Structure 1
Amino acid sequence: MIVVTGATGNIGRSLVTRLLADGAAVRALTRDPARAALPAGAEVVRADLTADEGLEPLLEGADALFLNLAAGGERAAGALVDAAVKTGVRRIVLNSSMAVTDSPADESHFIARMHAAQERAVRDSGLEWTFVRGGNYATNALAWAPAVRATGVVRDAHPGAQGAPVHEADLADVAAVALLDRTGTHQGRAYPVTGPEVMTVAQQVAAIGRAIGRETRVEQISEEAAAEAMAGPHLPREAALELVRMFGGAVDASPFPVSDAVERITGHPARTFARWAEDHAADFS
């Protein structure tokens, strides 16, 4: 049995589908099973991961756990690691971040600090582990959807910022291989995972336009305005500004790191951003 946290999220939904296709038993955790719309083969379980207790029953009988910080935050992730140890879970695959560098810089970077702390907790648990360190998620582009639908104009502080956007299905495929590993090949490994090509923000916006058959473009704004637009209940303005400035550091970055992890681990080439835009065309139309 494999337990998937964040089962209705972008990565989690793809992961549940992939694991079921591989014949695995899957317990999908979600706040609202009635609206989850997950495949019929999954055991869909209501779960409030922010509760102070009662997490052990969610993991009873499980061999492996896919742990995603987005499913409940840092405190919930730590409690799930403790529950995994208590209930005899053998393996954790953690959805981490390429921001983690295993260097002192991890303590001064907002995203790296959060994920590095969780990586340490998983390592210290004594369980088998694999870290899937995703880079620039292609799904980040969904934040542009309202602007694309309304005007076709995306407002961004750094149109020339580079990334190698990775499809959520590729992150799920890498996680599935690690969760199903019977040879120990992926035990104790941290995999940086990116898409197959370097693209600027402007190029990504243009690719979305081609996918939906509309003209799209980027209008440059200040870093402060971009941070204000990004900030919310779960992302303070100061953290948002740090993220915006981090993206700005990727302008004209050379060489920008592109990982071959998807093809090396799964056996298939990483999906392109153009493919992602086609898969999500309805979100922008």
Structure 2
Amino acid sequence: MSEFLVTGATGRVGRHVVNALAEAGHDVRALVREPGKAALPDQVEIFQGDLASPDAVERAARGVDGVYLMWPGLPVEPRVVDAIARGARHVVYLSTDVADLADDEPATSFHQEIERQIRRSGAGWTFVRAIDFAANTLAWAGQIRRGVVRWPYGDAARSLIHERDIADVAVHALTTPGHDGAAYVITGPESINHREQVRVIGEVIGREVRWEDLPAEIAREELTAAWGDADFVQARLDAWKRFADEPERVTDTVERLLGRPARTFRQWAEDHAADFR
């Protein structure tokens, strides 16, 4: 069996990556900030640290066959990518579908810059580009408990993906041959609009939940106050408006790689029903 390092090991996707690798009999290392709170399987070797520390990363990555890399939005630190490349033969990076760019183009996001650093590092690589997480709908949990969700663009149709499918694709890329140099755009199996997402969650938890379209100008004010990044809020609003006219694309990448369909949004909601009750 092989040995792998998982960063973001206690996160929404990383925890599933750790569990799947351990259950398959691989040796697993986990880079975590607070080992006492990690709650990972007993056989996992814990390394204390995070991606802000090149020395901690180099110790954790030394000699492993592969690394699952999730970059948490920190400033890009080339020494960290270099440390991973020196220690590991293959890096699977959780990226986004908007990260693709040529080497001579300026990076406009940290995902693009990390991808570029990995490509230049000399290590083998696979980019898993997830369009968007179904788990982002957990932001509605409080409103769903109150019985009404007020949000902009109810007709915005999204192809949200279950975090377990992201993890399964990452593990597949780490543990099977033929993925070096691949960039996989992964989505859920359907495009389902905001209003329908709320209806499905309500059905799953046995509660009627109404949808109220929130005007974009009010949403801009409220989300900027909540998220603190006006440019990000505007980008989200622009995307949702676009998806109301043209549904977000759906790929068959999960099914092609894993030999089974991606989990539906309803399956995700059933797995997370307790989070909405």
User: Is the Cα contact below 8 Å between 2:51 and 2:71 reproduced in 1?
Assistant: no
User: Is the Cα contact below 8 Å between 1:223 and 1:245 reproduced in 2?
Assistant: no
SS of the residue 1:100 aligns to: coil
Describe how 1:142-161 pairs up with structure 2 within 5 A: 142-149=138-145, 151-161=146-156
Partner of residue 191, structure 2: 198
Q: CA RMSD in A?
A: 2.3
Q: Which 10-residue stretch deviates more, 124-133 or 41-50?
A: 41-50
- State the TM-score, normalizing by the size of structure 2: 0.91
Alpha carbons of structure 1 residues 102 and 51: separation in structure 2 relative to 1, 3 Å: closer
2:207 to 190, 197, 214: 214
1:12 to 11, 14, 32: 14
1:188 aligns with 2:181: yes
1:176 aligns with 2:168: no
Q: Which 10-residue stretch deviates more, 192-201 or 154-163?
A: 154-163
Matched to 2:173, the amino acid is A
Unaligned 5+ runs, structure 1: none
User: Is the Cα contact below 8 Å between 1:224 and 1:241 reproduced in 2?
Assistant: no
Partner of residue 90, structure 1: 89
User: Is the Cα contact below 8 Å between 1:170 and 1:270 reproduced in 2?
Assistant: yes
- State the TM-score, normalizing by the size of structure 1: 0.88
Matched to 1:133, the amino acid is R
User: Is the Cα contact below 8 Å between 1:67 and 1:93 reproduced in 2?
Assistant: yes
Partner of residue 131, structure 2: 135
Matched to 2:39, the amino acid is A
Partner of residue 81, structure 1: 81
**CA distance, structure 2, for counterparts of residue 224 and residue 75 of structure 1:** 33
Alpha carbons of structure 1 residues 276 and 124: separation in structure 2 relative to 1, 3 Å: same
Alpha carbons of structure 1 residues 170 and 223: separation in structure 2 relative to 1, 3 Å: same
Alpha carbons of structure 1 residues 205 and 38: separation in structure 2 relative to 1, 3 Å: same
Describe how 1:41-56 pairs up with structure 2 within 5 A: 41-51=43-53, 53-56=55-58
Partner of residue 167, structure 1: 162
Matched to 1:96, the amino acid is S
Structure 1 residue 283: deviation in Å?
Answer: 0.4
Partner of residue 23, structure 1: 25
Percent of residue pairs bearing the same amino acid type: 40
Output one character per residue of 1:190-215: Cα deviation in whole Å (capped at 9) or x when no partner: 00000001100111111111111111
Alpha carbons of structure 1 residues 214 and 133: separation in structure 2 relative to 1, 3 Å: same
**CA distance, structure 2, for counterparts of residue 235 and residue 117 of structure 1:** 23
1:33 aligns with 2:28: no
Matched to 1:157, the amino acid is P
Partner of residue 219, structure 2: 226
| Count of aligned pairs | 274
Alpha carbons of structure 1 residues 225 and 43: separation in structure 2 relative to 1, 3 Å: farther
SS of the residue 2:202 aligns to: helix
Structure 1 residue 101: deviation in Å?
Answer: 4.2
